[in-house]
Amino acid sequence: MERKTAEISPELLRAQREICEKIKEYWLAQGVTPRAFVDTYGCQQNEADSERIRGMLETCGYGIVDEEEGADCIVINTCAIREHAEDRVFGNVGALTHTKNRHPRQKIFLCGCMMGQPEVAARIKKSYRHVDGVFNPHHLWRFPELLYTVLTTGKRVFATEDSAGAIAEGLPVVRSNNLKAWVSIMYGCNNFCSYCIVPYVRGRERSRRPEEIVAEVRELIAAGYKDITLLGQNVNSYGKDLGLGVDFADLLGELAELPGEFWLRFMTSHPKDATKKLFDTIASHEKIAKQFHLPFQSGNDRVLKVMNRHYDSAQYLSLVDYGRSLMPGLVLTSDVIVGFPGETEEEFEDTIRLIERVRYDALFTFIFSPRPGTPAAKMDDPTPKEEKNRRFDRLCAVQNQISQEIHQAYVGRTMRVLVDGKDGELLTARTEGGRLVRMSGPDCLLGQFADAKITGCTTWSLTGESVL
């Protein structure tokens, strides 16, 4: 079904801000300073959405707290990618009956991708009566209106109707970090991979206008942010719907020309839309981190076709080889699914061979999880769970060995890192390629770029010392 982007007008957003003021007055009349807790499941896009939810709550007069107990409003931002994530949400939402019994005025909202599934919203409505409101990603910008309705009428609200995906510029943001920032450049997905629920719950691809993105990134740099990640379900499709002749590589290059000291990252890329132009852009700009997350999902061409991925292993490897020809030290990470319906042992071995050929710095590994409403959920799946677990363990062992060997090659090198926190007596930092470094050094380096000599490693992290 064709959908057009719904651009939320300034007038509609102004109406939501006016409702925020009404909520402030509501609590002031009761002599209460309300508190809110926002819990997030899933991907970085959900994290970015939660930052906007916190922004709207703060504009409504709520103080943001870090636990459910005693909060006047709880918002749970859900993920629908895997069954395990959904089960955790249902379990935690069920447990909130106890906190609400102790705090009767508490209002509970559920949002995010799970709420884009009609059967889930129906289940919440019927079986979780203590939940006061539900809204899917298309209606996030209406949250003040929904909250006000619940507060003033006591009625439950369900904003779950399927609609054109919205872009609402200028929503308030409370960022979870003062050093690293998420910037959504587009929303939705047009790819319809056979295993993925995202296009059904987040809608079709819609891009923000480049001038809005540039303005947001410019503000972040001025505020001292030093690690900025551009987000989209498929960033490589950016701009196709705008008709401006601007693609993702163009946007990335423009942002990299902004003045200031920062690293620029992005995720996620779809291999079918990754271009040599994009690799050329990364290689030619110092501020673009030499890190590329490029999900391959399977090393077997038959499985890739059934997944509806629109590339084969040779095309994927050609992209990898081109990127590394420009940037020999390029850090590559990826996603892979083990146990896709019908995957044979030999097809799984193709995946192992691809991993050994590419030698990823790290992998995000998943056992296939059927998502109701997707084509893959209806496919025959004869492979026993025990066999899938065995394959998964073997794949992880292969990748862990590769990661260990790559990390070992860092030992003795001096690398530029961004110092982002502390772990006991040690500083924590990230390399340009996103590798975690635990290092000795003075606290004055916190929030700064620094040089670190790598002195040791594990499979998942590095150790080092500051070079002053």
Task: Give me the mean pLDDT over the 370-378 stretch.
Answer: 93
Residue whose pair of structure tokens reads 């972040």 in the numeric block: 220
Check pLDDT > 50 for residue 3.
Answer: no
* CATH topology match: 6-166 vs 411-467: no
Task: Write the CATH number of the domain with boundaries 411-467.
Answer: 2.40.50.140
Question: Please, which residues have CB within 8 angstroms of residue 87's CB and are 6 or more apart in sequence?
Answer: none
pLDDT per position as a tens digit, 37-66: 999 998 899 999 999 999 999 999 999 999
Check pLDDT > 60 for residue 346.
Answer: yes
DSSP string, 248-285: HHHHHHHHHTSSSS-EEEEE---GGG--HHHHHHHHH-
Q: Measure CA 1 to chain center.
A: 26
Task: Give me the mean pLDDT over the 301-318 stretch.
Answer: 98
Burial class (CB in 10 A: 0-12, 13-18, 19+), 141: buried
Residue 164 identity: A
Residue whose pair of structure tokens reads 């003075």 in the numeric block: 442
Check pLDDT > 90 for residue 203.
Answer: no
Task: Give me the mean pLDDT over the 424-441 stretch.
Answer: 96
**For the whole model, what pTM was predicted?**
0.93
pLDDT band at 163 (very low <50, low <70, confident <90, very high): low
**Taking a C-beta distance cutoff of 8 angstroms, is the pair 184, 68 a contact?**
no
Burial class (CB in 10 A: 0-12, 13-18, 19+), 429: buried
Tokens of residue 459, six digits: 């499979």
Q: What is the pLDDT of residue 1?
A: 35
The residue ranges of every structural domain in the chain are 6-166, 177-289, 411-467
Quote the CATH superfamily of domain 6-166.
Methylthiotransferase, N-terminal domain (3.40.50.12160)
Task: Write the CATH number of the domain with boundaries 177-289.
Answer: 3.30.750.210
- Going by the DSSP 8-state scheme, the letter that residue 443 receives in this structure is G
